[in-house]
Amino acid sequence: MPKTPPEPLFIAPLPTPLGPAQIVFDAGGVLRAFDWDSHQDRMDRLLARHYGPVGLTPAAAPKALADPFAAYFDGAVEALKTIAWTTGGTGFQQAVWRALCEIPAGVTWSYGQLAAHIGAPRAVRAVGLANGANPVGLVVPCHRVIGANGTLTGYGGGLDRKRWLLAHEGAAFRLAG
């Protein structure tokens, strides 16, 4: 069944200490996607997966989105919780993404903990796939999920960014190796 995209969708640049990023939002200022400029292809794929073909109109970031991102990078690590977001996705993905939002800044969970939290303790791999399909990363904090042994695992924005984000939030983790 073809997906009906919300119309219209807008895209705005977002400067960060980790390099330029982009946010996609709807006419109501609700966040639909976040990703780093260096991962534009990934963002395009996730938008197409969730909404079908979309056209993005360049626009200025709404204050209700830009201000919490700026505050987060300035050290108010809970500021992103104020951002309204929505996205497509399966019921399972939505459950994973809602659970990710329950992980406080400065805390990490393993994929197993996340799976158990949503009542699907044997679905660790599916949780990992849903985590990787999150189009509103950072706001839905997929970077707070690490390996069962406390080491960093994959992150769509790259492990260097994940390491920085977790250190910025004061989270404990181990470096592999």
Active-site amino acid positions = 142
Distance CA 7, CA 20 (A): 25
Distance CA 66, CA 106 (A): 22
Output 124-128 pairs: Cβ under 8 A, ≥24 positions apart. 126/92, 127/96
Whether omega before 6 lies within 30 degrees of 0, making that bond cis, reads: no
- Residue pair 145/100 in contact (Cβ under 8 Å)? The answer is yes
